Structure 1
Amino acid sequence: MKNHLFILPLVTLAASAFAAEKIDVSFKNYNQAETARNFNNWVKLGDDNKILHLKELSPVGPKAPTIRMNLDTLYSVGVYQNDGEMTLTIPDTGLYQSVMILDTDGYTPYYFTKPGTYQLKNDSEYLFIAARTVVKDRHSKESFAAAHKAQTGLKVTGNGSKSYVMPNFDQKQLHKLTTEYNNKMLDSKISFVYGDGKMSVNEEHRTWSNTAGWEEW
């Protein structure tokens, strides 16, 4: 019995140390780390395995969950566990709506701009769904009401129920690289480069683009 009591604290301490171990961030895994940080930002707002509809135009600066958000658009965002059977439905409302799907590697396997029901086939454990609904006149209550109605027509089915938990990436290293890569993107004057995970793209340019697209500290 005494031996068991002695072993248990050691096992507990070892497990705690393992759980607290930070993951180093480098160019090799930067896209995963920065994507995870932004997934987590949205989950904290309440979009874990459900769509969070933002009813007002996006704030700018530090209050924005993601830095580059349109000023004439209402956002609907969800971080979903992907069980391999997910579907997305975009309603036919007459308003422009687009939906971007991101995986945990920071790739964009899907981008939809037309009404319909779509199957989301991807190996990523979690998928980030970001929908944009246009507000035709930002000074009109009727325009907001129409956009709100269109938002409620967005449906996601077939997802899992496991909550997203951000891997323990070293945030100081991530912040340092984010500053470095954002400056490189600005100095390069290249257009944004993204990828769907299938076609080959310049990974350095994709990393800089993800930095500039997500970046906010």
Structure 2
Amino acid sequence: MRELVAVDTSPSSAPKHGQPVIRMNHDTLYSILIVDLSTSAVVTFPDVGHRFLSLEMLSETHDSFPSVYKPGKYLLTWTKNGCSCTPPCRTTTKTGAACTAFGTRYAFLLLRTLADAANATDIAAAHDAQDAFAVRQKSPGKWEVPEWNQTELSRIRTNLQDLQAMSTTPATYGFFTGPEKIDHLYGLLNVAAGWGGVPPKDQTYVFWSSGGEPGDFAITVPEVPVEANGFWSITVYNKEGFMFADPSNYNSAAQGSQGKNRDGSTTVYFGSCDDPKRQKPSKAHCLPIQQGWGMVMRFFRPAEAILDGTWVPPKPSSKKHG
């Protein structure tokens, strides 16, 4: 994108080809905007009832602010003007408005809207929620950034991913805790592993890799402790961290009343999705896999039991081919 003048509201979730960053997902619909804060901006966050709707805010240096869930108006600035705090920071103005000072010219906004892909009525309602989100400013500004060397970028990212794989980074991590608490070393490693991550109270991530082990897998997830309208999901990736193309269009599974077992748990299968036994309760709960695949389990608005480690997420178990 160059001239940025309006919110880019996508009616579809992440594409399987041309994914701009690694470890994207199909969990929600996305509205994405880069804001030039040469002039301040005001975000209008709509009231959408109980539907999960979150607004993520990132600076150019990936300072990750707590996500926004409540309807209202939010002021965004480059410097401390209007916020009365030293950026990067967030505070409340004298009028009671929330103000975020990014400390960088550009701010990245990502609106996540939950929708039931199998329900046309719900999709339409989700699109209405997206359309109600607005950003206003006197001038939209310009997109003026260096022409970064993509070859060098890929090489650096690969090296960081290798370092992260050999580090002591916890499986359930939340190093997107900035801006005031960010651990810059782990922050750099995890940005390379999953750009766009948010603080642990907003999303917590569990990475798992098959390590090249052959065979089919399954995982049964008990009821997950989440706050308010939070939810969980599982997404599979190739060894480079990208969703792979598959005719079935299934790269991820999420919680849902149609996919629960009698005890409230949810079973997700990996591989051999032509087997009718692995298509229950629905085909959407069997995810095709490739050699070297891995998965990320995401918890949106996790409860304290997840954050403090009291609730331990399960791991896939394998069924090796004879």
1:57–1:173 distance in 2 versus 1, CA, 3 Å:
closer
1:80–1:160 Cα contact (<8 Å) kept: no
Q: How far, CA to CA, are the matches of 1:50 and 1:196 in structure 2?
A: 27
Q: Deviations over 1:93-132 (max 9, x none)?
A: 1221101111111212352122221112323111111100
1:194–1:160 distance in 2 versus 1, CA, 3 Å:
farther
User: What letter corresponds to residue 148 of structure 2 in structure 1?
Assistant: F
In the alignment, which residue of structure 2 is the partner of 1:48? 4
Q: Deviations over 1:142-193 (max 9, x none)?
A: 1110100000011111263322133133333221110011122233343141
2:54–2:111 Cα contact (<8 Å) kept: yes
In the alignment, which residue of structure 2 is the partner of 1:104? 60
Q: Tell me the CA shift for residue 77 of structure 1.
A: 0.4
User: What letter corresponds to residue 133 of structure 2 in structure 1?
Assistant: L
In the alignment, which residue of structure 2 is the partner of 1:196? 178
User: What letter corresponds to residue 56 of structure 1 in structure 2?
Assistant: S
In the alignment, which residue of structure 2 is the partner of 1:12? none
More relative contact order, 1 or 2 (CA 8 Å, 6+ apart): 1
Q: How far, CA to CA, are the matches of 2:42 and 2:53 in structure 1?
A: 16
Identity value in percent? 25
1:110–1:49 distance in 2 versus 1, CA, 3 Å:
farther
1:82–1:159 Cα contact (<8 Å) kept: no
Q: Tell me the CA shift for residue 86 of structure 1.
A: 1.3
In the alignment, which residue of structure 1 is the partner of 2:228? none
The aligned runs of 1:69-108 (5 Å cut-off) are 69-94=24-49, 95-108=51-64
In the alignment, which residue of structure 2 is the partner of 1:37? none
Bigger fraction of residues in strand: 2
Q: Deviations over 1:195-217 (max 9, x none)?
A: 432x132211000111111377x
1:81–1:162 Cα contact (<8 Å) kept: yes
Q: Deviations over 1:11-53 (max 9, x none)?
A: xxxxxxxxxxxxxxxxxxxxxxxxxxxxxxxx26xx8232111
2:175–2:187 Cα contact (<8 Å) kept: yes
User: What letter corresponds to residue 98 of structure 1 in structure 2?
Assistant: S
Bigger fraction of residues in helix: 1
TM-score by length of 1: 0.70
In the alignment, which residue of structure 1 is the partner of 2:191? 210
1:51–1:177 distance in 2 versus 1, CA, 3 Å:
same
Runs (5+) with no aligned partner, structure 1: 1-42
2:194 partner SS: helix
2:57–2:64 Cα contact (<8 Å) kept: yes
The aligned runs of 1:134-213 (5 Å cut-off) are 134-135=114-115, 137-158=116-137, 160-188=139-167, 189-190=169-170, 191-197=173-179, 199-213=180-194
Q: How far, CA to CA, are the matches of 2:138 and 2:105 in structure 1?
A: 10
Q: How far, CA to CA, are the matches of 1:78 and 1:181 in structure 2?
A: 27
User: What letter corresponds to residue 72 of structure 2 in structure 1?
Assistant: G
1:126–1:212 distance in 2 versus 1, CA, 3 Å:
same
Q: How far, CA to CA, are the matches of 1:160 and 1:195 in structure 2?
A: 31
Identify which of 89, 110, 128 aligns with 2:108: 128
1:105–1:160 distance in 2 versus 1, CA, 3 Å:
farther
User: What letter corresponds to residue 128 of structure 1 in structure 2?
Assistant: F
Tell me which stretches of 4 or more aligned residues in structure 1 moved more than 6 Å: none
Runs (5+) with no aligned partner, structure 2: 77-99, 196-240, 243-322
Q: How far, CA to CA, are the matches of 1:133 and 1:125 in structure 2?
A: 26
User: What letter corresponds to residue 138 of structure 1 in structure 2?
Assistant: A
1:109 partner SS: strand
Q: How many correspondences in the alignment?
A: 169
TM-score by length of 2: 0.48
